[in-house]
Amino acid sequence: MPSEDRSCARCVQFVGLDDVAVVDLETSTSGLVLTIETLPRPVGCPSCGVLARLKDRAPVRLIDLPCYGRPTTTVWLKRRFTCIDADCEQRSFTERDDRIAPSRSSLMTRAGRFVTHQVGAHARSVSEVAEDLGCNWHTVNNAVVLWGEALLEADTERIGSVEALGLDEVAFAKLGERRKLSFATTIADTRRGQLLDVMPGRGGAEPKEWIEATSEDWRAGVKWATLDLSAAFRSVFVATLPDATLVADPFHVVKHANSKLDECRRRVQNETLGHRGRKTDPLFRSRRLLTMAKQRLNEDAEAKMVGLLKAGDPRGEVATSWHAKEAVRELYAHADEATAAQWIDQLIVDMADRSQPIEVRSLGRTLKNWRNEIIAWHRSHASNGPTEAVNNLVKRVKRAAFGFRSFRSFRVRALLYAGKPNWSLLETVMPR
């Protein structure tokens, strides 16, 4: 029977597992092979508690951490026992030691924590971590998901009080035979720039259920709800956070004004020349100058833009749309909410005039529909920019993974990288 004297004391210290004996250490072409066993000790039946009898030892091969740059496999001589009580239904059982490895795991516990930290905290690809350990992709990916879920569940303080909550969409994957692009919704704390969770779809039931599952005190603490000009996200906030003030993101408001300007330029281009823009057409040459902020145009650039508009915009519609875009930008130059409210109200009236280009009238209707949310920025100065920054972190995870097919894996890895979990808890948790 294996005993403690078979183990080298220094090897035991090197392995770092108490009450575990090192039986053998071999080298192979694929790396190191370490054989261990737990020291003999009395074991009771898990059903009746009667002292059990050792039946045999079954070798279990586990992926361990690399040793001196070489992949390492640990062979655990796992003890199997027989209950000596004839009336007990538990005839035999196998020992369990979570310090070595969880049940039904092909990775050592320390290796599972290692790969979770490498893939989750540093956004490394699963394939390169698997290559370091000398195992396959699925072994590492399954460990990251299981250990990651255990860490996120144990970190009950990760989602604290939130003053400003943001919603945004991010592309998930192209699925199905037609490779249809599927989206996910990110929920973020825009004050701390922290990803709180990821839901499938673009708004709808899932974000509502997530917010409704929080406590009433938590929802009451959300003062601002930031979003782009999305009716779906607005309906989520209205239904779940009626006391929060909705804030339209300034970047998306100005972006919408720029898109209407570009629509007008392309329409006038087709009406005047009968074709899409070509590199010699005045309006096509002016497209980048038109979307630049006025203060960023030097004298030469502004003179060039004016000359191109005179040559390609006979009715002045593009010029009018440009002035409308600049007027929307001017909205955010006002310091107080009252002045901004007067400004946007006047813009709504001016843009509704029938003499305005259709794109400017459309822009005016958008300003009217989102007036209160746009004005709320002057009171809160909360934006959806941190949510966009969180989405960039999520996209970095996607690039490292070369895309996802499993939403479960996508969600866990996104939260591990952008959700700011307490990584010190990883040493205390075990996957289910």
- The domain spans of the chain are 1-101, 250-380
pLDDT at 6: 53
| Confidence class for position 175, pLDDT limits 50, 70, 90 | confident
Q: For residue 405, is pLDDT > 60?
A: yes
pLDDT at 5: 52
pLDDT digits (tens, 9 = 90+) for 268-282: 999 999 999 999 999
pLDDT digits (tens, 9 = 90+) for 105-151: 999 999 999 999 999 999 999 999 999 999 999 999 999 999 999 99
Q: For residue 152, is pLDDT > 80?
A: yes
Mean predicted confidence (pLDDT) in 228-255: 95
C-beta separation of 360 from 260 below 8 A:
yes
What is the DSSP code string of 225-240?
EEE-S-HHHHHHHHHH
C-beta separation of 331 from 304 below 8 A:
no
pLDDT digits (tens, 9 = 90+) for 346-378: 999 999 999 999 999 999 999 999 999 999 999
Tell me the whole-structure pTM to 2 decimals. Answer: 0.88
pLDDT at 9: 64
| Percent of the chain whose predicted confidence (pLDDT) is above 90 | 77
- C-alpha to C-alpha distance for 74 and 363, rounded to whole angstroms: 66
pLDDT digits (tens, 9 = 90+) for 313-330: 999 999 999 999 999 999
Mean predicted confidence (pLDDT) in 323-346: 95
| Confidence class for position 10, pLDDT limits 50, 70, 90 | low
pLDDT at 239: 95
What is the DSSP code string of 16-65?
T-TTEEEEEEEEETTEEEEEEEEPP---B-TTT-PBEEEEEEEEEEEEEE
- C-alpha to C-alpha distance for 369 and 391, rounded to whole angstroms: 27
| 8-state DSSP, 84 | -
| 8-state DSSP, 281 | S
Q: For residue 427, is pLDDT > 80?
A: yes
| Confidence class for position 1, pLDDT limits 50, 70, 90 | very low
Q: For residue 7, is pLDDT > 60?
A: no
C-beta separation of 63 from 135 below 8 A:
yes
pLDDT digits (tens, 9 = 90+) for 295-307: 999 999 999 999 9
Q: Measure Cα distances from 221 to 62, 159, 194, 373, 420 in Å.
A: 47, 13, 16, 19, 20
Say how many C-beta atoms besides its own lie within 10 A of residue 389's C-beta: 14
C-beta separation of 370 from 248 below 8 A:
yes
Alpha helices of 123-181 — where are they, by DSSP H? Answer: 126-133, 137-154
Average pLDDT in the chain: 92
| 185 closest CA partner among 411, 424, 24, 417 | 411
Phi-psi region of 274 (alpha: psi -120 to 50; beta: other; left: phi over 0): left
| Confidence class for position 20, pLDDT limits 50, 70, 90 | confident
Q: Which two tokens stand for residue 44?
A: 């009771």
Strands, DSSP E only, in 91-136?
92-94
pLDDT at 2: 47
Q: Which two tokens stand for residue 195?
A: 């990803």
